[in-house]
Amino acid sequence: MERTLIGETPKLVGKTVSLSGWVNIRRDHGKLIFIDLRDRTGIMQTVVIPDSKEAYETAKKLRSEFVVEIEGLVKARPASAVNQDSSTGGVELEAKKVNIISKPEGELAIDVSQESLDLKLETLLDNRTLALRNEKIKSIFKIYSELLSAYDEVMRKEGYVEIKTPKILSSATEGGANFFKIKYFDREACLAQSPQFYKQAGVSFFERVFEIGSVFRAEPHYTTRHVNEYIGLDGEVGFIKSFQDVMDELEKVVLSCMDSISKNCQEELKKYDVVIDESKPIPRITLVEAAEILEKEFGKKLENLDIDAEGERMICEWAKKKHSSDFIFLTNYPTALRPFYSMPGKDPEFTETFDLLFRGLEIASGGQRIHDYNQLVENIKKRKMKPEQFKDYLDIFKFGIPPHGGWGLGSERIVQKILGLGNIKEAILYPRDVKRLTP
Ligand code: AMO
């Protein structure tokens, strides 16, 4: 018999169907055996009665996570039963045949059938492939998948061309020390800290480009918002008049992603009791203004305008109260805090750059770039770096390139903050941190 999906069964009351999936849990009540069956569309209760002899004998052997095929009659469940337990829907299957397709070996480390797995993050990550079978945890990644598709869709709609750039590089793109050195045959290379140089090159041939790609950061610390490998949603756009145009673009893109998630992931959002509010337009304040607000409203002083995690949380609290916005752009970061490619402002102590904060956390950085060859060479020298090291990057500017800018968005941070997850690692299938290289 052809396979029917659980999601299709409400329309098939009175029909005989064959379902395939995993045993979420087996419960025995007197002589009846209840098997909650899980497939990619949901969970459904199946009932095996002793009269169906063969099915009953097989059902007695079943344990959680057995992969099975169950044939039976779709029946409407009494409303009272549905009210008591709504997790398995309004129909059930009266099983006639049960066939074991595959069995787990040995004991399972965790029971994924619970609505919410109340376990330590380490346990969930150590047993990741199993934990990812839990419906609530799976919801995180359905939302993540929606984010990737929404980003792709809006970028293409706005005329950006998707590119994929190399992740093995000869030099670091973002400066600082947080890059991984690797052995590359008889040379040293490093893993890309961002697609920065290549997306700027992309502007010189496509005007507008985007990339969804892996980013590697050798952050030696443990925080709830840093990991060592993440997926960046990058964008770069040419022919801008100022970095305000870049923020306009990013605002459009981010709000469009939020809208798609809100429209297409209602069920998943509900599992986390989350509502996505309209946040339009996103307020923009300079970092200097933010520092004043922090001091006046929260009594917090910023050292050299270097806003920390607490400051970001506070300024978001202010944005919510004052502008009813979950987002806020902080602009014009000090030169000392931004990479060498950032466009200086009228006051050269500051740059034409921004961060985008969402519900207390920085989710994106961006800005206008220096596009003049000589100015860029000077800037590299000013930072005590050697222009020779950036020869290929500098070539981009020798060939002629319009004023441009862009952003890097941390995809996992967006999902973390949408769902209010305590740690970014919850929003990563198989996260990498200082200690974790498996699974
Ligand atoms: P930046 O280094 O600020 O900027 O990174 C951009 C965004 O990436 C995310 N992010 C991280 N997420 C998880 N773990 C980390 N260790 C981590 N580091 C950064 C954040 C951050 O806002 N090239 C520039 C962007 C640009 O100007 O276009 C860049 O990489 O969400």
Q: Are 272 and 261 in contact (CB under 8 A)?
A: no
Q: What is the CATH number of domain 131-427?
A: 3.30.930.10
Helices 373-382 and 391-398, interaxial angle, to 10°? 150
CATH class of 6-102: mainly beta
359 lines ligand 1 (CB under 6 A): no
Token output for 418: 């949408």
What tens-digit pLDDT sequence spans the chain (439 residues)?
A: 999 999 999 999 999 999 999 999 999 999 999 999 999 999 999 999 999 999 999 999 999 999 999 999 999 998 777 766 666 678 999 999 999 999 999 999 999 999 999 999 999 999 999 999 999 999 999 999 999 999 999 999 999 999 999 999 998 888 788 999 999 999 999 999 999 999 999 999 999 999 999 999 999 988 999 999 999 999 999 999 999 999 999 999 999 999 999 999 999 999 999 999 877 899 999 999 999 999 999 999 999 999 999 999 999 999 999 999 999 999 999 999 999 999 999 999 999 999 999 999 999 999 999 999 999 999 999 999 999 989 999 999 999 999 999 999 999 999 999 999 999 999 999 999 999 999 9
174 lines ligand 1 (CB under 6 A): yes
Query: Distance between CA 286 and CA 68 in Å, rounded?
Result: 59
What pairs with residue 48 in β-bridges? 33
28-37 long-range Cβ contacts below 8 angstroms, 24+ apart: 33/59, 33/60, 33/62, 35/59, 35/62, 35/68, 35/70, 35/95, 35/98, 36/88, 36/113, 37/6, 37/68, 37/70, 37/93
What pairs with residue 80 in β-bridges? none
Query: Distance between CA 108 and CA 439 in Å, rounded?
Result: 16
Q: Which atom of ligand 1 is nearest to the CA of 236?
A: 28
Q: Are 293 and 315 in contact (CB under 8 A)?
A: yes
Distance 106 CA to ligand 1 centre (A): 42
Q: What is the CA radius of gyration of the chain?
A: 26
- Report pLDDT for 291: 98
Token output for 213: 């790609």
Distance 177 CA to ligand 1 centre (A): 14
Q: How many helices (H) and strands (E) does the chain have?
A: 13, 17
21 lines ligand 1 (CB under 6 A): no
Distance 347 CA to ligand 1 centre (A): 25
**Cα 293-295-329 angle, rounded to 5 deg:** 35
229 lines ligand 1 (CB under 6 A): no
Q: Determine if residue 297 is left, alpha or beta; phi over 0 gives left, psi from -120 to 50 gives alpha, anything else beta.
A: alpha
Ligand 1, atom 9: closest residue by C-alpha: 410
Distance 158 CA to ligand 1 centre (A): 22
Ligand 1, atom 30: closest residue by C-alpha: 194
Ligand 1, atom 29: closest residue by C-alpha: 408
- Report pLDDT for 393: 95
Q: Are 36 and 28 in contact (CB under 8 A)?
A: no
364 lines ligand 1 (CB under 6 A): yes
408 lines ligand 1 (CB under 6 A): yes
Question: Taking the C-alpha atoms of 423, 429, 432 and 436 in order, what is their torsion angle to the nearest 10 degrees?
Answer: 90
Distance 65 CA to ligand 1 centre (A): 38
pTM attached to this predicted model: 0.96
Distance 409 CA to ligand 1 centre (A): 6
Query: Distance between CA 329 and CA 6 in Å, rounded?
Result: 44
**Cα 253-254-255 angle, rounded to 5 deg:** 95
Q: Are 398 and 406 in contact (CB under 8 A)?
A: no
- Report pLDDT for 89: 76
Distance 410 CA to ligand 1 centre (A): 6
Judge if 6-102 and 131-427 fold alike in CATH terms: no
All structural domains of the chain with their residue ranges = 6-102, 131-427
Query: Distance between CA 192 and CA 393 in Å, rounded?
Result: 14
- Report pLDDT for 280: 81
Q: Are 163 and 209 in contact (CB under 8 A)?
A: yes
Q: What are phi and psi of 90, to 5 degrees?
A: -90, -5
What pairs with residue 244 in β-bridges? none
Beta-strand runs (E) in 288-398? 327-331, 353-358, 361-368
